[in-house]
Structure 1
Amino acid sequence: MTTLSQNLLDLSDFAWQRLRNRVEGLTDEEYFWEPFDGCWTIRPADDGYAADGFSEDGLRIPPDPAPFTTLAWRITHIVDILQEDRTATWFGHQPLAEDGQPPTPASAADALVALDRSYEIWRRRLAALSQDDLDRPMGEIAGPYAEHDGTSFALHILDELIHHGAEVGTVRDFYRGTHPDDPFTAALAGELTPTDRPALLAEAAAAQRWEVVPQLAGLGFAVDERTADGFTAAHLAAGNGSLDTLRVLVEHGADLSLTDPRFNADVLGWANWFKQTEAADYLTERTRAGSDA
């Protein structure tokens, strides 16, 4: 039987990987983007006390409704939540000396490094908890939450990771919608090469831009590259029932035996799972023909 500790770790890892995939490719322009006046963000500190030169906007009692917060603010907040001392001390443990204090990342690249490190620290602390740590009231160190047990605090941190991670994804969607980018057109015009963006063909399949997949394959974009979620174009074509695309991918040597990280299924498995009968029949016939050869 799966333990409570393992369930918490599994949920944490799932939420973390979803967030990490959503921030891949983050740029400084997007990181600091303020779509409205009055946004909270991170700014160069004017008091000289911030160790890394930046500080977060904020008030002890935030205004209601709260200001819109930038990706810089939101990601810094997630880093702080995961890495702060209380994710050790409130469970009755002590932070390691090398854990340090959460930084205020001054660039998108720094933010991704800080996110990775903060999650590594949080996950190690979470994995170290015993059942007694999870069951025991946290006591005086937790202030008004003294009578709450460790499990409730672990779930609180996971809720913070999940809901702030969802906000980060939403802001990225908002940014993308107001800053349209069509890398597929750029690739077809020769402005983007397979070296520049190896997984572009898989991205086209994920966007269901089926009409450009054959053209990208003809330009040398690899058919077996994967999206950030680990799906190949063949998985996506089979799951969406795009039979013509699937045939093109097969003609260009797509490896139909590759499995994805979410369902651990090959391309035929996707066709079956998503009830794409024509795609499943086509793949089954190819498998049968191969075994008869």
Structure 2
Amino acid sequence: MPFAITEAIFQKAVNAIGSGDLPELEHLLAWHPQLASHRRDIPEDGYFKHPYLLWFIADNPVTNDHLPQNIPRIAAAIIKAVRLHAPELLQEQLDYALALVATGRVPREQGVQLPLIDLLIDNGANPGTGIGALAHNNIDAAQRLIDRGGELTLAAAVCLRRTDWLPALLDRSNEAERQVAFVAAAFYGYADMLELLLRHGVNINALPTEGYGFHYHATALHQAVSSGSLEAVMLLVEAGADTRLADLIYHGTPLGWSQYMQHTNETPPGEKEKFAAIEAYLKDK
């Protein structure tokens, strides 16, 4: 009878993923086949609760801030073990692993995001819509998901600037779909897309639906400010966006967001002038 998986064994496997030690990982998977189905009990809420081993291939949430270049081979070894020892769990593991990879910062920065996406889809992961990737500024990942069979939604078409599809998607869209696309356009600072969507009926001051990302706690004007696009900010204000509304988490107005973006370390020094220009514009409104 196989021994139960201990925290130490699971952690050895996680460490092997992080270091790219494929022989060690394959040894652990061979001697402890329960690793294919075991879920770590992480006592916290959030999107990484009770993770499978496969879900560690994305470093999302960020733990090491690094992924080895052989991470696709690491992932393939885990998938092989799951397919052999826990096939009934394979789809669940693949689909969520893909979501973690597509929305992750570390896979993108390490240059392994697209190979991992291809590997997971090749093994049966559902490519979805790419909205999560887009909400995390992973444009290339979203494009790859769509190219690999994902659904091209109105929001994705707006963010990917698929103007060839926009007329048809707009014609069959509903109010909720247009609202998500509107917020997404503001998130990327696409003034032309904002203008197009305003002509098709959206609530300029509405909050996006929670679950789509794109700063769900803030208005399109907040999103446009965070994008650094003065053109998008001006278009929204001139179309009637309320500059006094505060977001629901930080309680900041769009002006407050422009001031914050000038001082946070998240903003590269060369881009802070954009937010100073937005601040100067909003102070007059």
TM class, shorter-length: 0.3 to 0.5
Relative contact order, CA 8 A, sep 6+: which one is greater? 1
- The alignment's TM-score, normalised by the length of structure 1, stands at 0.41
